[in-house]
Structure 1
Amino acid sequence: MSLTKFESMLKTNSVYFFDLVEFEEIIVHYLDVGKHSLAKKAVKLGLDQHPQSVDLKLLQVELYIFENKIDKASVLLRKIEYLEPNNEEVFIQKAAISSKSGNHKEALMNLEKALTFTDDKVDVWSLLGMEYLYLDNFENARVNFAKCLEVDYEDYSALYNVVYCFDMEKKHEAAINYLNNYVDINPYCEVAWHQLGRQYFILEQFKEALSSFDYAVLIDESFIGGYLEKAKTLEELKRYKEAIDNYLITLELDDPTAFTYVRIGECYERLKKYEAAISYYKKAVHEDPLLDRGWILLTNLYYNEGNYQKASYYISKALKIDEGNSLYWRRYSEIKVKLHFFEEAVIGFEKCLALKDDAIEIYLALTDMLSFLGDFNDAVLVLFKAQKTHKNFAEIEYRLAGLFFVLDKENYGFSHLIAALKIDFDSNVLLKELYPIVYENEKVQKLLTDYKKALE
């Protein structure tokens, strides 16, 4: 009724009287729902009618802080502190100013003072916890949030924060002990069972995790997060059909997501039901066309089936979304090799190197493509670059040997061939596979024979 009366007054430009409690309720309501302009009007009218009200002045301070008018907030706070030096809200607002200025240690000092003056310590503990989080002091943050829970076991915000602190400290066993104690006292809390399951999941204790998620969804049959985590756990246990069933429940409870479609598709793929997998991957990319993971999963599935034309189509979709992903360029080149589009394969491997993907496989594949295309000098340069990162690799030396023989530089060819034989004699089959004419060269055969006898 107070809100209706206040908003009616604003519309008619009339002036009604409100008592102090009414003004406080109106202002707090507008602050809670984010209507700061209306809160500002209510504060002004309130102070016009109750100019001595400290509580209204404190709400004015809160608005100043929100508007980043720190100087005005500080001046007004000093006046209020002079009138009421033991008012905990003064120190809470001083802490808010310090926190907003990045001075979290000073904020903690003010909150500790507020704690000595207040009977309602829960709000202050929560603020202390947040300030400690800003300082990455997770232990003290956790202690303060835990105090909130001791007063109100249904303060789920505090519960999430306690578990978050355990996570950041990587104290998952301690989190499990805490949550088990919590559910002993509050056994019908689906949030706690869900968080307990997450901790078991992190420690790869999947049976225990599954049991916890089962409790969570039994308590709240519409708990989407519980079903999602349960499905992920069933995947880890290789119970893919049950995982699919739980993912499908989430689709019934809420709007479909690309994430869920992808997970269902992956389950079907592991069950070797490839048509169903493709169907759900397509649903995923339809739901979110910018989901490159969906496109790459389609690419890989078609690649493994030997359908390189479709694989080529889908990898192009993935690359349009994330052209800085070297793994996508690898797959692009592998597909182009299968399609005998060697020039395009070269482009893909070069992109990988440009993206700092300098795995030996990239250098060797690029060399082989350039060699096949007759770009022998470029192939040599690629191998020289590879040697800077990959020392004493027989695969590099055998290729350099073959290339130098092809380029009629026998001295260099023999030098690299000897280096290759020293590293791994048995891999000389590479020369036979890649450069058969060089391998059959009489001088090369003599060197191989002599080297083999020397080893014997």
Structure 2
Amino acid sequence: MQLSNEEEDYNLSLSKFESMLKTNKVLFFDSEEFEEIILHYLDMGKAALAKKALKLALDQHPKSTGLKLVQVEMLVYDDKLEIAEKLLNELYAIEPTNEEIFIQKANIYSKRDQHEKAVEFLNTALKYTDDYADVYNLIGMEYLFMDNLEMAKQSFIKCLEEDLDDQSALYNVVYCFEFLDQNLDAIAYLNKYIDKNPYSEIAWHQMGRLYYGVKDYENAIRAFDYATLIDDEFLGAFMEKAKAFERLKKYEEAIESYSRTIELDDATSYALLRIGKCHEKLGNKVLALKFFDQTVHEDPLLDKGWIAITDFYIRQKNYQKALFYVNKALAIDNQNRLYWKRFATINKHMDLFEEAEFGFRKAVEFGDHELDTWLFWVDILQFLGEFESAIQTLLQASEYYPEENEVEYRLAGLYFMIQDNTKAKFHLSNGLRLNFDNYIILEDLFPVVWIKKMVQNYIAKYKK
């Protein structure tokens, strides 16, 4: 690629400056050259070189306003705000219409978390600047700091009116629309933007995301298609398009889009997993397993991969294979509640109740507080005859589900089993109050309790 004259001059200035540092010869640079050199080192994070360049620059051009403004920028960067402000006041006395002075003053106030004052200075800068887009962008950022998303949005829109190609402003304006829950307004705005800038792949991609967010998957795919036509290596657009195809149950097209992401970059565990899921939906079991295996090979820490393989075998009722894979997963991460729940479920299917009880206990221990987990665990404890443990577990569950009839009926049944009729009637009364028809839980889970005349009479009396 051929470099422009400007780029060549810039590269020559850098080479000349670095050569000067090596030889300790003092060479002359004009002030603009120095500014570019200093800003280059700042952008590269080489603060020491930037400071060295600034010192040499000010030695050669002690009256240059541009260099002094760069000095201010570096002082602000180092949090030397008072010195920076003093220098700005001196510069203001010399050049009261220099917009950069107001921009740097705004920067200082922004650093002090005085964002309203920063906006005032930026609005003053608008009177003197030729680069309206940059100033509107800075105003938008200040409003973001103040959590004033509506004003931020308006500022970024003004920025884009001045410079259609400002990608950061485009991302920010969409962010504001989304944060304000104005997805349809965002789509309308992007349609107008695209009328002016039809080859913006970013705009098409953002529009696709917004359509996806409102579940208009057909239009989302159309937008992602345009994004990938403009940039046929736009990995994010291919990934989002694949997800939209999945939502429409167009699994072959989804596989094609996910596969394209793998062609463009190294295979991601997410793409491999989704391809596997799509193949499973299409009934391609061998291919589904192949991609699930690749997923866990690519990222052994991704729990979704191990869960996909385990659930696949559970659906096939191949519990031995499911147990094999969930054990492999637990060997990598034995504190994952999702693995423990599956471990418990599989053992339950295999009538290995002690192992199942252990699995549910571990799932709860590691943060699974879903109602069905508590109930499966308790039902197994009851089956094993561990009534006291079952009661303690249900009382623990009732802290998360204080008004749950399934908990209350089970507590009633268990208290009847241990002959604590007072507590049993209390919980039976709660169960009947919360959901009368569910008293069949007693019949299903506690047939010995169900046939008791006392229980039948209590239910009949409550019904009346």
TM-score by length of 1: 0.88
SS for the counterpart of 1:102 is coil
Measure how far apart 1:228 and its partner are: 1.3
The residue that corresponds to 1:227 in the other structure is 238
- For 2:136, the aligned partner's letter is W
The residue that corresponds to 1:134 in the other structure is 145
Measure how far apart 1:330 and its partner are: 2.9
- For 2:258, the aligned partner's letter is Y
Instruction: Return the match for 1:250 from 240, 261, 271.
Output: 261
Instruction: Return the match for 1:176 from 178, 182, 187.
Output: 187
**Structure 1 residues 129 and 429 mapped into 2: Cα distance closer, same or farther (>3 Å)?**
closer
Instruction: List per-residue Cα deviations over 1:15-68 (Å, max 9, x = no partner).
Output: 111122222222233233333222211111010111111111111111122222
Measure how far apart 1:327 and its partner are: 4.4
Bigger drift between 259-268 and 79-88 goes to: 79-88
Measure how far apart 1:354 and its partner are: 4.5
Q: Which runs of 5+ in 2 are unaligned?
A: 1-11
Distance of 1:356 and 1:342 partners within structure 2: 21
**Structure 1 residues 43 and 317 mapped into 2: Cα distance closer, same or farther (>3 Å)?**
farther
SS for the counterpart of 1:116 is helix
The residue that corresponds to 2:68 in the other structure is 57
Instruction: Return the match for 1:33 from 33, 44, 60.
Output: 44
The residue that corresponds to 2:251 in the other structure is 240
Bigger drift between 415-424 and 112-121 goes to: 415-424
Instruction: Return the match for 1:145 from 144, 152, 156.
Output: 156
The residue that corresponds to 1:121 in the other structure is 132
Pairing of 1:87-126 with structure 2 (within 5 A):
87-126=98-137
Measure how far apart 1:453 and its partner are: 11
Bigger drift between 318-327 and 243-252 goes to: 318-327
Measure how far apart 1:439 and its partner are: 4.9
Pairing of 1:342-353 with structure 2 (within 5 A):
342-353=353-364
SS for the counterpart of 2:390 is helix
Answer yes or no: is the 8 Å Cα contact 2:75–2:83 preserved in 1: yes
Pairing of 1:204-219 with structure 2 (within 5 A):
204-219=215-230
- For 1:208, the aligned partner's letter is N
Distance of 1:6 and 1:423 partners within structure 2: 81
Instruction: Return the match for 2:302 from 285, 291, 308.
Output: 291
Answer yes or no: is the 8 Å Cα contact 1:96–1:107 preserved in 2: yes
SS for the counterpart of 1:238 is coil
Distance of 2:149 and 2:294 partners within structure 1: 41
SS for the counterpart of 2:195 is helix
- For 1:28, the aligned partner's letter is L
Pairing of 1:311-390 with structure 2 (within 5 A):
311-316=322-327, 326-354=337-365, 357-387=368-398, 390=401
Instruction: Return the match for 2:201 from 152, 176, 190.
Output: 190
Answer yes or no: is the 8 Å Cα contact 2:345–2:356 preserved in 1: yes
**Structure 1 residues 184 and 321 mapped into 2: Cα distance closer, same or farther (>3 Å)?**
farther
Distance of 2:430 and 2:176 partners within structure 1: 56
SS for the counterpart of 1:198 is helix
The residue that corresponds to 1:279 in the other structure is 290
The residue that corresponds to 1:74 in the other structure is 85
The residue that corresponds to 2:95 in the other structure is 84
Distance of 2:90 and 2:332 partners within structure 1: 57
Number of residues of Structure 1 aligned to a counterpart in Structure 2 = 453
**Structure 1 residues 395 and 76 mapped into 2: Cα distance closer, same or farther (>3 Å)?**
closer
Answer yes or no: is the 8 Å Cα contact 2:177–2:183 preserved in 1: yes
Answer yes or no: is the 8 Å Cα contact 1:292–1:317 preserved in 2: no
Distance of 1:137 and 1:436 partners within structure 2: 62
Q: Which runs of 5+ in 1 are unaligned?
A: none
Measure how far apart 1:121 and its partner are: 1.8
- For 2:312, the aligned partner's letter is L
**Structure 1 residues 419 and 216 mapped into 2: Cα distance closer, same or farther (>3 Å)?**
closer
- For 2:445, the aligned partner's letter is L
Instruction: Return the match for 2:53 from 37, 42, 59.
Output: 42
**Structure 1 residues 61 and 368 mapped into 2: Cα distance closer, same or farther (>3 Å)?**
same
Answer yes or no: is the 8 Å Cα contact 2:105–2:121 preserved in 1: yes
TM-score by length of 2: 0.87
Answer yes or no: is the 8 Å Cα contact 1:166–1:175 preserved in 2: yes
- For 2:129, the aligned partner's letter is T
SS for the counterpart of 1:16 is coil
The residue that corresponds to 2:7 in the other structure is none
- For 1:169, the aligned partner's letter is L
- For 2:240, the aligned partner's letter is E
SS for the counterpart of 2:97 is coil
The residue that corresponds to 1:202 in the other structure is 213
- For 1:334, the aligned partner's letter is T
Distance of 1:25 and 1:15 partners within structure 2: 18
Answer yes or no: is the 8 Å Cα contact 1:262–1:280 preserved in 2: yes
Distance of 1:151 and 1:416 partners within structure 2: 69
Q: Determine whether 1:308 maps to 2:319.
A: yes
- For 1:209, the aligned partner's letter is A
Measure how far apart 1:379 and its partner are: 1.7
RMSD value, Cα:
3.0
- For 1:346, the aligned partner's letter is E
Distance of 1:136 and 1:421 partners within structure 2: 49
The residue that corresponds to 1:269 in the other structure is 280
The residue that corresponds to 1:260 in the other structure is 271
Distance of 1:5 and 1:453 partners within structure 2: 99
**Structure 1 residues 429 and 202 mapped into 2: Cα distance closer, same or farther (>3 Å)?**
closer
Pairing of 1:15-34 with structure 2 (within 5 A):
15-34=26-45
The residue that corresponds to 2:4 in the other structure is none
Answer yes or no: is the 8 Å Cα contact 2:319–2:349 preserved in 1: yes
Distance of 1:313 and 1:200 partners within structure 2: 41
- For 2:263, the aligned partner's letter is E
**Structure 1 residues 425 and 163 mapped into 2: Cα distance closer, same or farther (>3 Å)?**
closer
Answer yes or no: is the 8 Å Cα contact 1:293–1:318 preserved in 2: no
Measure how far apart 1:127 and its partner are: 0.8
Instruction: Return the match for 1:158 from 156, 163, 169.
Output: 169
**Structure 1 residues 163 and 407 mapped into 2: Cα distance closer, same or farther (>3 Å)?**
closer
Measure how far apart 1:75 and its partner are: 2.7
Answer yes or no: is the 8 Å Cα contact 2:132–2:162 preserved in 1: no
Answer yes or no: is the 8 Å Cα contact 2:99–2:129 preserved in 1: yes
Distance of 1:98 and 1:321 partners within structure 2: 50
- For 2:28, the aligned partner's letter is F
Instruction: List per-residue Cα deviations over 1:263-308 (Å, max 9, x = no partner).
Output: 2122122223232222212222222222122122222222222233
